[in-house]
Structure 1
Amino acid sequence: MEEGGRKKGFGISSIYSHILPSYASILCLGILAVGARAQCGKKPVVFNFGDSNSDTGGYSAGHGVTFGPPFGRAFFHEQNGRFSDGRLMIDFFCESLNASYLSPYLESLGSNFANGANFAIGGAATLPRFKPFSLDLQVLQFLRFRERSLLLSSEGYANQVREDFKNALYIIDIGQNDLSAAFTYLSYEQVIQNITTFVTEIKSAVWDIYKSGGKNFWIHNTGPLGCLPRELATTSAQNPTTDYDSYGCLVPLNNAAKEFNGQLRALCEELQSEMTDATIVYIDVYSAKYDLIANAANYGFEKPLMVCCGYGGPPYNFNPDFLCGNSRSTACDPGQRYVSWDGVHYTEAANSILAANILSSNFSTPQINLNFFCNV
């Protein structure tokens, strides 16, 4: 996703410039959908790594920006730092575990890290390394967090993780930005060739966490990139003859996502064979999201490829110059059920369904339910 934007006075457009590709070089309605909460003897500790799909305020804190209305209107009704109108999948996962929402690692005020922390941040990718806030840097932040938490806990400080970190759940959801950015300057064949380097970075991250004591991993694959309205709007404008599938999604981008996912699944199998005392669950987010788009009407959604909060009208209601939050953009009526919030991220209504389907374990390999990690 993009870097750049004005150096000061960030508006919503420059916020999006950090999470859209340009650099070359995881329910009132939701609770019902997700179902009964896990009966955890004690609240599990959760650490999340990723990008804007699971960022609960890291970008906002790290860049000193505010997400004003209509962001958050479906649930929080206040500034919350999420790229959505409400809760994300990671929020529903925490609800399912009867745990508090994860505080962003970068949020200095009002944070409670007793049940874990969220290192995900909008715009993050696996590469390039050490580029705020790439996956390897998030892991370095975690390692420092672990060291400091154990020290402060021993000194009696509250709101710190007190348990052995080996029993924590480590969620990783990253890769979408790597693919999206790669398509801005590489051919399809070159993108495919680069996927191994992205997956290798995830491998390094898992090994680093494992060596620090982590044993429980919940690893998401990437969603159908070619079904994002942003990709559809920009690609169709640049190349109207590109290949679409029967649901209107871009075939080359989805094929690249599938290749990434195939390599990631193979990696999870490899890691499980080598980390015999660990539990590694591969989550097929791609299939869950594609199912939602393909069967949108059955789920009660309108126009699955059209943006709720955007500008331009049908077919996608997306214009990169007038993004959600811009004075010229408008949001759909709160009563309407859209899949896409802003062209990149999903609405709370969509996230609640996705979380429910993922929590069913039908998209998990092996088929381990999330509440398994209540008792490890």
Structure 2
Amino acid sequence: MTSGLMNGGGSVSATKISLRLQYYVLLAGVGAVVVVACLKYMPAAAAVAAAGYGSWPGAQGSGLAVATRAGEAAAASEKASGGRSPVVIFNFGDSNSDTGGMAAANGMNIALPEGRTFFRRPTGRLTDGRLVIDFICESLNTPYLSPYLKALGSDFSNGVNFAIGGSTATPGGSPFSLDVQLHQFLYFRTRSFELINKGQRTPIDGEGFRKAIYAIDIGQNDLSAYLHLPYDEVVAKIPLVVAHIKFGIETLYAHGARKFWIHGTGALGCLPQKLSIPRDDDSDLDGNGCLKKYNNVAKLFNERLAESCNQLRQRMADATIVFTDMFVIKYDLVANHTKYGIERPLMACCGNGGPPYNYNHFKMCMSGEMQLCDMDARFISWDGVHLTEVANSIVASKLLTGDYSKPRIKIASLVNSTTPHDG
């Protein structure tokens, strides 16, 4: 996705990989990589997941994980339900919260080991199990969100997931950028009210739209596209990205949304994908081995997004707008990894190359040469970009406390709330 410029922006040698080239290669090529892997390596991948092997020295098979009864019940919640849900969530974002949208949009038959730990089958999530949005749904006792473009098996009674992997907040940056997702929502909403006015039953009624939680988790791909630039030039791009997210909130508000749950971006400088980019030296690494420039960009983006949320909160007195700082939560996974039983915080579980990062820009997870960690190993990164279920569960547990949010409230309190929180 990205490449080459370190230490606040110096010259990059001709042998280094272009950040922008990697970004577009990832967006345009991820589909091809996954499809080829599915067609060519599905039997092998399935065998790999069943055996639970790892291919670097010291890795040993551990077998398929056995889902708990609670987990089986949660997985079964993907099936359609007859009645309307008291909890409704409309989610907008990228692969961090994509529950199968990209796979549905591109007709991808993703293979194992994706989804190996919890669902024990691929679901279109770009990880080994559940995402943060899935844990949020579990905490609210509502089914997992169905992707908007999933033709079969979708249940929209508790909301819709418009998030699609590779999406950007900036229009034109991807096929399903935030503005496209907003248009999809408006179409869904308009069509629902057309049917309601004809006396027909819809998955979500007018009250459901009014009381729904509108979640937005996007911006990481925008920032990644700019990281090849000198730091001051990257900083100059941030206001535009934030402005599009702000406009998204305003658009939803204009169509009746009153409860917003907004996520900042994570620790970009700790991703194996970024760390594996060739660099002249390690002077830009912090004490935990993460790239300072990339993390500074992420922190500044979150600050600007939090400020915009605060401005909107002042103008939209009848709305609740909650911003959650995901950087603090995700960086803590690396900084205090031993507390969470994680041995290699900067290494991808599924990738190529082995230690220290197990990430190869040309031999990524799901390729025929992937190197896979043990089923029961505790890793932060699944494929160098996305978190593992273990990491997502820790992130979600912290997020659900409300301690990292402004105003400092829990998402559960938004479900039946009728009074805005002034923060």
TM-score by length of 2: 0.79
The CA distance in 2 between the partners of 1:134 and 1:360, in whole Å, is 30
For these two proteins, the number of residue pairs brought into alignment is 352
The CA distance in 1 between the partners of 2:330 and 2:123, in whole Å, is 24
* CA spacing shift, 1:157–1:331, aligned 2, 3 Å: farther
Please, what is the CA RMSD of the aligned residues?
2.2
The CA distance in 2 between the partners of 1:172 and 1:77, in whole Å, is 28
Per-residue CA deviation, residues 17-66 of structure 1 (Å, 9 max, x unaligned), is xxxxxxxxxx95998xxxxxxxxx96310000010000000100111112
Indicate conservation of the 8 Å contact 2:85/2:142, yes or no.
no
Cα drift, residue 150 of structure 1: 2.4
Partner of 1:4: 28
* CA spacing shift, 1:112–1:313, aligned 2, 3 Å: same
The CA distance in 2 between the partners of 1:284 and 1:189, in whole Å, is 22
Instruction: Specify every segment of 5 or more residues in structure 1 that has no aligned partner in the other structure, as ranges.
Output: 15-26, 32-40
Partner of 1:86: 129
Cα drift, residue 10 of structure 1: 5.4
The CA distance in 2 between the partners of 1:297 and 1:9, in whole Å, is 34
Partner of 2:9: none
Per-residue CA deviation, residues 185-208 of structure 1 (Å, 9 max, x unaligned), is x22211110000000000110000
Partner of 2:370: 329
Cα drift, residue 312 of structure 1: 0.1
- Which of 241, 249, 269 is the matching residue for 2:290? 249
Cα drift, residue 13 of structure 1: 7.2
Matched, 1:315 2:356: yes
Q: How does 1:348-363 map to 2 (within 5 A)?
A: 348-363=389-404
TM-score by length of 1: 0.89
Other structure's SS at 2:313 match: helix
Cα drift, residue 131 of structure 1: 4.0
Q: In structure 2, what residue type is equivalent to 1:179? A: L
Partner of 1:135: 178
Partner of 2:225: 181
Partner of 1:23: none
Matched, 1:261 2:305: no
Partner of 1:56: 99
Per-residue CA deviation, residues 167-215 of structure 1 (Å, 9 max, x unaligned), is 100010011111111113x222111100000000001100000000000
The CA distance in 1 between the partners of 2:33 and 2:282, in whole Å, is 39
Q: In structure 1, what residue type is equivalent to 2:288? A: Y
Q: In structure 1, what residue type is equivalent to 2:342? A: F
Cα drift, residue 163 of structure 1: 3.7
Indicate conservation of the 8 Å contact 2:34/2:367, yes or no.
no
The CA distance in 2 between the partners of 1:87 and 1:12, in whole Å, is 24
Matched, 1:195 2:238: yes
Indicate conservation of the 8 Å contact 1:129/1:137, yes or no.
no
Cα drift, residue 240 of structure 1: 3.0
The CA distance in 2 between the partners of 1:112 and 1:42, in whole Å, is 11
Partner of 1:35: none
Cα drift, residue 238 of structure 1: 3.8
Matched, 1:293 2:317: no
Indicate conservation of the 8 Å contact 1:227/1:250, yes or no.
yes
Indicate conservation of the 8 Å contact 1:50/1:172, yes or no.
yes
Partner of 2:86: 43
* CA spacing shift, 1:160–1:154, aligned 2, 3 Å: farther
Indicate conservation of the 8 Å contact 2:35/2:110, yes or no.
no
* CA spacing shift, 1:300–1:208, aligned 2, 3 Å: same
The CA distance in 1 between the partners of 2:202 and 2:285, in whole Å, is 50
Per-residue CA deviation, residues 194-249 of structure 1 (Å, 9 max, x unaligned), is 00000000011000000000000000010010000000001xx1443450110000
Other structure's SS at 2:91 match: strand
Other structure's SS at 1:306 match: coil
Cα drift, residue 7 of structure 1: 8.6
Partner of 1:19: none
More displaced stretch, 77-86 vs 121-130:
121-130
Q: In structure 2, what residue type is equivalent to 1:363? A: Y
Aligned identity (percent) is 48
* CA spacing shift, 1:63–1:242, aligned 2, 3 Å: farther
The CA distance in 2 between the partners of 1:244 and 1:74, in whole Å, is 32
Per-residue CA deviation, residues 283-303 of structure 1 (Å, 9 max, x unaligned), is 011100011111111011121
Cα drift, residue 120 of structure 1: 0.5
Cα drift, residue 158 of structure 1: 5.6
Q: In structure 1, what residue type is equivalent to 2:175? A: P
Cα drift, residue 157 of structure 1: 5.5
Matched, 1:367 2:408: yes
* CA spacing shift, 1:114–1:157, aligned 2, 3 Å: farther
Per-residue CA deviation, residues 247-273 of structure 1 (Å, 9 max, x unaligned), is 000000000111111100100100000
Instruction: Specify every segment of 5 or more residues in structure 2 that has no aligned partner in the other structure, as ranges.
Output: 1-22, 39-66, 72-83, 418-423
